[in-house]
Amino acid sequence: MNSYWQHYDHLADIGVRGYGSTLAGAFGQAALAMTAVVTEPGSVEPREAVEIDCEDADRETLLVDWLNCVVYETVTRKMLFSRFDVQIQGARLHAKIWGEPIDAERHQPAVEIKGATYTTLKVQQLSGDLWMAQTVVDV
């Protein structure tokens, strides 16, 4: 199992951590962990696609930018996302994400994420085939 996510406690906010067999996979799982802060990811159907592009000089800042782009799309489109196809080439990230409009009754959103922070920010290759990407999101 090389792709998964988890949460970790951090004061009043919550940490999101993604693991993947590639850097891009870890970024996708971190975004899925962010969705799981709000609702059960399995309840979000991948009906509509949105494309995201961002760029930054280092992996850590790119992670924060990426997650904040997902937050932006969530807020402006009033959607939740459950599928993340991320591609990273050098300092550039391109992603196609799928989700659906928020249905308060079905999704029962627990909180609203305000944004990703630089708190406990870390992106690293743990072994030859396992990457980890983590940060704290402000709720």
Q: What residue segments make up the domains of the chain, in order of their start?
A: 4-138
- Across the range 45-62, mean pLDDT stands at 97
- Across the range 39-60, mean pLDDT stands at 97
Model confidence at 69: pLDDT above 80:
yes
The whole-model pTM stands at: 0.94
- Across the range 94-111, mean pLDDT stands at 96
What per-residue confidence (pLDDT) applies to 71?
Answer: 98
Into which CATH architecture does domain 4-138 fall?
3-Layer(bab) Sandwich (3.55)
Q: Residue 126, Cβ neighbours under 10 Å: how many?
A: 10
Higher pLDDT, 9 or 110: 110
Model confidence at 122: pLDDT above 60:
yes
Q: Which residues of 33-64 are buried (b: 16+ CB within 10 A; e: fewer)?
A: bbbbbbbebeebeeeeebebebeeeebbbbbb
